[in-house]
């Protein structure tokens, strides 16, 4: 093994604190060529280090004196941003709430439908067996069991037809989608502009309007599932356009902002098409779905109630009771399957929400045409309208041109998306 030898020489001075290294020698094994390394490190003066430290400390103190406290406007803007982020957190929480409750109510529809149909089928089977079992205790037991099953199915059906679980699930799906859309809008507002109090007010109004349009609780706040008048779903505050107008006027003051007479005329034609064709058509479809759902909702409990009466009075001498119990029970199963298995309530809510979507588009276009100089950029607004209708810009312009040139001809629908 080789031997390593190292010698260091330190020198200290009492007058001036200095540290110096004069020589370092390294000798290696005799088998290898011996080399000596000698270097000199310049002396370091500790007084110089102390002076340098004092200079840097004084510069640091001077820089801290230059930091001024936040102005009132900066503090106010910081509070506004914090409020906006608080609303954003609440919106994200509502997205998850509506998503989870929507899945739960969809499970309600499936489980309740299978349970009710199972009870009705079992009741009809017991009524058929009781008809051939003769008189006595077996007939009484089968008759009582069949009647109880029919009565239980009638009660559950009345509750199901009142709350419409498939429609409730569709409401929560729509609410989750709209809250996600609002979440993205708030994030875009924070990223692209300096948030002000009007933006916070608009976001808060939108959240409260969505809460009112799609309530979570069933008791007291549930929407009427069989309204007398079919209206488009409304999930936006009525005066939100005025707030947006004030907010945009305080920021945008350009002369034309991408708008011209041709674009304004195009938007008016598109708005008229949406109102005459798309919204009207979906309102008609919603009325048809509501009528069918209303008929099925009344027929189901009525048929199971008749089946319960027939099973209660069936006997060896009453053949009509057995027929009523079996036939009405079978028809009740068919009606329930069409209503809740086909989710007619969900179809009604889908048509109503689609009509609301077109109503919102009409109001947005009308507001943009009335706002004046402070409105959104015309090219950006045109692109948004085209995307919402599932069209390209050239298709949208061609649609408005065709409506202008042939006002009496049969018009096509503005939307290709629905």
As a whole number of angstroms, the distance between CA 56 and CA 304 comes to: 92
pLDDT per residue over 188-235, tens digit each? 999 888 888 888 999 999 999 999 999 988 887 889 999 999 999 999
Closest CA relative to residue 329, chosen from 140, 119, 111, 148: 119
Check residue 78 and give its pLDDT. 81
Spatial separation of the C-alpha atoms in residues 387 and 391, rounded to whole Å: 6
Mean pLDDT of 394-403: 87
Least confident of 23-27, 79-83, 412-416: 23-27
Q: What is the pLDDT of residue 58?
A: 56
pLDDT of residue 318: 77
Please report the pLDDT score of residue 369 as a whole number.
87
- Label residue 408 by pLDDT band (50, 70, 90): low
Instruction: Identify whether 69 is part of a domain.
Output: no
Residue 416: is its pLDDT beyond 90? Answer: no
Instruction: Assess contact for 385 and 396: CB atoms under 8 A.
Output: yes
Instruction: Confirm whether 24 is domain-assigned.
Output: no
Inter-residue contact 411 to 273 (CB < 8 Å): yes
* Bridge partners for 206 per DSSP: none
In a domain, 241, yes or no: yes
Domain count for the chain, please give it.
1
pLDDT, tens digit, 9 for 90 and up, residues 262-293: 898 999 999 989 998 899 999 999 999 999 99
Q: How confident is the model at residue 246 (pLDDT cuts 50, 70, 90)?
A: low
Q: Fill in the DSSP letter of residue 412.
A: P
Inform me whether the pLDDT recorded for 29 exceeds 50.
no
Q: Looking at residue 122, what is its pLDDT? A: 94
Rounded Cα distance between 91 and 189, Å, is: 14
Copy the structure tokens of residue 338: 């069409």
**Cβ-based burial of 203 (10 A; exposed 0-12, middle 13-18, buried ≥19):** buried
Dump pLDDT digits (tens) for 102-129.
999 999 999 999 999 999 999 999 988 8
Q: How far apart are CA 284 and CA 276, in angstroms?
A: 12
DSSP letter for 147, please. Answer: H
How much of the chain exceeds pLDDT 70, in percent?
A: 75
Assigned domain for 340 exists: yes
Q: What pLDDT, on a 0 to 100 scale, did the predictor assign at position 28? A: 46
At residue 59, the pLDDT reads: 54
pTM: 0.75
Assess if residue 34 is contained within a domain.
no
Vertex 260 angle, CA 259 and 262, to 5°: 125
Q: Which pLDDT value is given to residue 258?
A: 79
Q: Is residue 376 part of a domain?
A: no
* pLDDT computed for residue 316 by the predictor: 77
Let me know if residue 362 belongs to a domain. Answer: yes
**Residue range 138-168, pLDDT digits in tens:** 888 888 999 999 999 999 999 999 999 999 9
pLDDT in tens, 48-105: 555 655 565 555 455 444 444 444 555 667 888 899 999 999 999 999 999 999 999 9
Show the domain range for 149.
74-247+260-370+388-405
Q: Which long-range contacts (CB under 8 A, 24 or more apart) does 252-259 make?
A: 252/373, 252/374, 252/375, 252/376, 253/373, 253/374, 254/373, 255/373, 256/373, 256/378, 257/373, 257/375, 257/376, 257/377, 257/378, 258/377, 258/378, 258/379, 258/380, 258/381, 259/375, 259/378
The predicted pLDDT at position 301 comes to 94
Model pLDDT, residue 240: 58
Exposure on the CB side of residue 129, measured as CA atoms within 13 A: 15
C-alpha angle with apex 361: 408 to 244, nearest 5 degrees? 135
Find tokens 């109090």 and name the residue: 197
Beta bridge partners of 8: 24
Please report whether residue 51 resides in a domain: no
pLDDT at residue 67, as a whole number: 41
**Percent of the chain surpassing pLDDT 90:** 51
């Amino acid at each position: 093994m080789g031997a390593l030898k190292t010698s260091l020489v330190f020198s200290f001075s009492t007058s001036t604190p200095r540290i110096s290294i004069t020589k370092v020698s390294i000798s290696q094994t005799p088998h290898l060529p011996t080399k000596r390394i000698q270097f000199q490190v310049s002396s370091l003066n500790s007084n110089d280090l102390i002076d340098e430290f004092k200079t840097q400390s004084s510069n640091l103190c001077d820089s801290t004196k230059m930091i001024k406290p936040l102005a009132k406007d900066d503090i106010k803007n910081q509070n506004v941003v914090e409020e906006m982020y608080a609303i954003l957190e609440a919106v994200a929480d509502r997205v998850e709430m509506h998503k989870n409750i929507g899945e739960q109510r969809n499970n309600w529809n499936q489980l309740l439908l299978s349970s009710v149909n199972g009870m009705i089928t079992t009741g009809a089977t017991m009524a058929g067996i009781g008809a051939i079992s003769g008189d006595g205790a077996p007939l009484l037991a089968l008759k009582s069991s069949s009647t109880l099953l029919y009565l239980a199915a009638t009660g559950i059906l009345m509750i199901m037809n009142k709350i419409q679980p498939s429609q409730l699930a569709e409401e929560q799906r729509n609410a989750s989608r709209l809250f996600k859309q609002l979440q993205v809008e708030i994030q875009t507002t924070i990223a692209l502009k300096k948030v002000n109090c009007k933006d916070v007010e608009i976001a808060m109004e939108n959240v409260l309007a969505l809460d009112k349009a799609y309530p979570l609780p069933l008791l007291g706040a549930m929407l009427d599932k069989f309204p007398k008048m079919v209206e488009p779903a409304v999930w936006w505050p009525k005066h939100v356009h005025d707030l947006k107008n004030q907010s945009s006027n305080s920021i945008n003051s350009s002369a034309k902002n991408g708008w011209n007479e041709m674009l304004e005329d195009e938007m008016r034609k598109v708005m008229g098409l949406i109102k005459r064709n798309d919204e009207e058509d979906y309102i008609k479809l919603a009325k048809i779905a509501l009528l069918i759902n209303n008929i099925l909702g009344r027929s189901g409990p009525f048929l199971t109630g008749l089946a319960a009466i027939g099973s209660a009075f069936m006997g060896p001498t009453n053949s009509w009771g057995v027929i009523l119990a079996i036939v009405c029970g079978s028809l009740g199963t068919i009606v329930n399957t069409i209503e809740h298995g086909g989710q007619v309530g969900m179809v009604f809510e889908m048509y109503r929400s689609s009509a609301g979507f077109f109503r919102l588009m009409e109001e947005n276009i009308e507001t943009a045409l009335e706002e004046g100089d402070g409105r959104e950029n015309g090219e950006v607004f045109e692109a948004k309208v085209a995307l919402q209708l599932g069209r390209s810009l050239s298709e949208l312009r061609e649609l408005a041109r065709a409506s202008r040139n042939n006002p009496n001809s049969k018009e096509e629908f503005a939307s290709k998306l629905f």
